[in-house]
Structure 1
Amino acid sequence: MTSGTLREVQEGALPTTSLRLVFNFNNITSFPFASLSSFSPGLLSLDLRSNALGEFPALASSTLQTLYLSNNPLGSLPVSAFVSTPSLVDLHLSNTQIPEVFTGTFTPLTQLVNLGLGNNLLRRLEEGAIQAATSLALIDLGYNTLTYVHPQAFPGFTNGWLYIHHNGLTKLEENVWRTVMQGPEAYLDPYGNPLQCGCDVAWLVSDPTLMAKVDIYTTCADGRPLISLDPEEFQAC
C-alpha cells in the first residue's frame, strides 16, 4: 500500500508469509514491528520511507535484507538499533533527523553493502562511528553539517564509494581520507564543501592516482576546481 493516507497498521494485519512489504508515502505513525520476527519463511524487504514514524523502531528479523526508513522524523539512532537484524544488505536512513552516530551501531551488520545517511543532522563522526563490514561498498553522508571526521571514523572501509558532499568540511586531511581511498574501486565525493585547499590537500594534489578517485566537480571555497591545482604550489608544505 503506497501513496495514501494510512496512519496505522494494526497488529495481525500483515500476512506473515510476505517476503516484501511496501507502505511508503503514507502518514504511518504506528506499525507492528514486533510481528516481523514471526514471518515465515522470513521477510526480506521493508519499505516505510516517507511516513511519520517518530522514533527508531525495535526491529528483530534474522532474514531482513533491505530496510527503507528514509523521510521519517526518527530523531535518533540507538546504538542497539541493528543488533537483531544481522542480514541487512541495504539500509536507507536519509532525512530522518539523526544528530549523531554512536560507535558500534553498525558493527552487527556484517553483510551490509549500502548505507544511506544523507540529509541528516550529523556534525561529527567520532572514532569507529561507521565500523564497516568488508562487504560495505557505499556510504552516503551528503547534505549533513559535518565539520569533523575522526581519522578512524570508517575502520575497515578502504575500497568503496564515500559521499561527503555538501557538508561543512574545510580540510581534506591525509590522516582522515587516505585510508578510505586505498582500494582500486574507491571514490570520494567532497563536492560542495568549503575547502580551504591549503597544505592539507598537498598529499592529494601530488598523487594523480588518488586524484582520479575524487569527484571531478569538487571545488575549493574560492571556486578553483580541485583538479586544477598545481602540485608545485604545494612544494613548501
Structure 2
Amino acid sequence: MDGTPLGNIDPARIRKLLALEVVSLQNCGVEQISTGTFANNTYLSVVNLGSNNLTSLPHNAIVLHGPNAQLSIRNNQIKNLQSDAFSDNPFLCGCDIAWLILDRELLARVADRPTCSSGEAFVDLDPAIYEELC
C-alpha cells in the first residue's frame, strides 16, 4: 500500500488481518500508530513505515516474528523512543546494529539493557569487532 494517503492506521482493522506477513506503508502520511497496532498477528515478520510523519513509536505497537524479522522506520520525525522500545526482541546483533554499537553515547541512552538472541547485552558488545568487520 506504499504511497496510499492513509493519515493514521486503524488498529482494529489491522488486527483482523490474521494471516498478514508483510506490511509496507511507506510514504502514506502516517502520523501515529497505537500500542498493539501490529502486535496480534503471529505471522507478521516485516513492517515498513518509512517516509511517513511518525513522531514516536509506542511500546508494543509492533511485534514481529521469525528469524528474519524486519522493521523500517527510517525517514520519519521520531526524536525519542520509549525506554522499553527495544526490550524483548531477539536481536541477531550483526552489522545491522553497528550504527548503534559504534555510537556509545547513543547506546548509553537505550534503556532496559537490550540483548542479542545469544543473551549478550548490547552494552557488552565490543565496538572494535564492529569497526573491523562492518
Percent identity (aligned) = 21
- Superposition RMSD in Å: 3.0
Aligned to 1:152: 84
Cα distance, 1:82 vs structure 2: 1.4
User: Which 5+ residue runs of structure 2 have no aligned equivalent?
Assistant: 100-104
Q: Map 1:29-178; keep pairs closer than 5 Å.
A: 69-130=1-62, 132-135=63-66, 137-159=69-91, 171-172=106-107, 173-175=109-111, 178=113
Q: Which amino acid aligns with 1:182?
A: C
Q: Deviations over 1:199-234 (max 9, x none)?
A: xxxx74x73169739xx5xxxxxxxxxxxxxxxxxx
Cα distance, 1:123 vs structure 2: 1.0
Quick check: 1:212 aligned with 2:130? Answer: yes
- Higher strand proportion (structure 1 or 2): 1
Runs of 4 or more above 3 Å deviation: none
User: Whose radius of gyration is greater, 1 or 2?
Assistant: 1
**Within 1, Cα distance between the matches of 2:110 and 2:83?**
9
User: Which 5+ residue runs of structure 1 have no aligned equivalent?
Assistant: 1-68, 165-169, 185-202, 217-237
Q: Deviations over 1:137-173 (max 9, x none)?
A: 10001001110101222553222667x9xxxxx9442
**Within 1, Cα distance between the matches of 2:8 and 2:58?**
16
TM-score (norm 1): 0.43
What is the count of residue pairs matched by the alignment? 118
**Within 2, Cα distance between the matches of 1:207 and 1:155?**
17
- Higher helix proportion (structure 1 or 2): 2
TM-score (norm 2): 0.71
Instruction: Check the 8 A contact 1:133/1:156 in 2, yes or no.
Output: no
**Within 1, Cα distance between the matches of 2:53 and 2:3?**
13
Cα distance, 1:107 vs structure 2: 1.7
Q: Residue 111 of structure 2 aligns to a residue in which SS? A: helix
Structure of higher RCO (CA pairs closer than 8 Å, 6+ residues apart):
2
